[in-house]
Amino acid sequence: MSTTITSAPAVDTLLDRRSIRRFKPDAIDSQTVDALESAAQHAASSQFLNDWSAIRITEPSLKEKLAAIGRQDYIATAPLLYVFVLDEHRNAIIAETKGVDVSEQRYTLRYGYRFSQAQNDAVLALHAMETAAESLGLGCVILGSLLNDIPELIAALHLPKYTFPVLGLAIGKPDQEPASKPRMPRSMQFFDNTYPTDDTPVRELATFDDEVHRYYDLRNAARPVDAFSDQIASIAEDETALDRGLCDAEAQGFDLGR
């Protein structure tokens, strides 16, 4: 358990957060599911547009399919699995009932600013659900890997025009106890008033590198993880993510250049 600065249970939950990638097979009861979904719905929403939806993945074959897309077996074993999508489809239907022209040139919720705000809303809702789950003793892992193949994911979930997948969230009773992953010295990440012009953002990097290198990830417990700078260096020149571009958003009716 991390050192807490207050005794508030919500803060303790947040400070104790770590990703869980192995779940007990126990089903999650419906009251808990209600609480989690309600917590997600109570997250803030930009201009109250409520422009996100979440797909519950309950079909085992669909879970397997998502595990194949994510190339992570534990996705299929999650008792609860959601895919959060940004959703301007529902708002198009609603606007249309009020006589608004939602054809591509006229519908302003399909442009870049709204897309990014809707993505924020979806992430905030997902995070509220994650925190609620953890406060109830459940474990979670966020799944960006579902975006390995965005067209395949869109097809599998039948996502309509003006929707786009954001992230998955796997939830279940934890069947592992990973150590808390180190976080940066706060001086590297919090600045006063303006972004520093000196070396403040990296001044304590060597200390952080050491700390990260001493951490053991349960996914590969045989060796310590790479130092933080080595991880950044390798991801900075990794080209595999280039085909996971938001250009797929165009096929869903969005125009992010505007």
* Binder among 45, 72, 77, 91 for ligand FMN (CB under 6 A): 72
Nearer to ligand FMN, 70 or 165 (CB): 70
* CA distance linking residue 53 with residue 168, whole number of Å: 12
Contact between 171 and ligand FMN per CB under 6 A: no
Amino acid at 12: D
Shortest distance (Å) from residue 144 CB to ligand FMN: 3
**Nearest residue (CB) to ligand FMN, 88 versus 134:** 134
131 forms part of the interface with ligand FMN (CB under 6 A): no
CA dihedral sign, ordered 9, 14, 16, 18: positive
Of 17, 19, 20, nearest to 2 by C-alpha is 17
Residue 214 in the binding site for ligand FMN (CB under 6 A): no
Q: How many residues bind ligand FMN (CB under 6 A)?
A: 12
Q: What is the 3-state secondary structure (H, E, C) of 165-234?
A: EEEEEEEECECCCCCCCCCCCHHHCCCCCCCCCCCHHHCCHHHHHHHHHCCCCHHHCCCCCCCHHHHHHH
- Regarding 252 and contact with ligand FMN (CB under 6 A), the answer is no
Nearer to ligand FMN, 54 or 167 (CB): 167
Q: Please pick, from the candidates 124, 142, 218, 225, the single residue that binds ligand FMN as defined by CB under 6 A.
A: 142
Alpha-carbon gap, residue 127 to 42, rounded angstroms: 11
Per-residue interface string for the shown chain with ligand FMN, residues 12-31, x marking contact by CB under 6 A: ------xx-x----------
Q: Using the rule CB under 6 A, which residue among 167, 169, 227, 249 binds ligand FMN?
A: 167
**Per-position DSSP letters for 33-94, written without gaps between them:** HHHHHHHHHTS--GGG---EEEEE---HHHHHHHHHHHT-GGGTT-SEEEEEEEE-HHHHHH
Which of 122, 143, 150, 169 lies at the binding interface for ligand FMN (CB under 6 A)? 143
* Residue 144 binds to ligand FMN (criterion: CB under 6 A): yes
Contact residues for ligand FMN, defined by CB under 6 A: 18-19, 21, 70, 72, 141-145, 167, 181
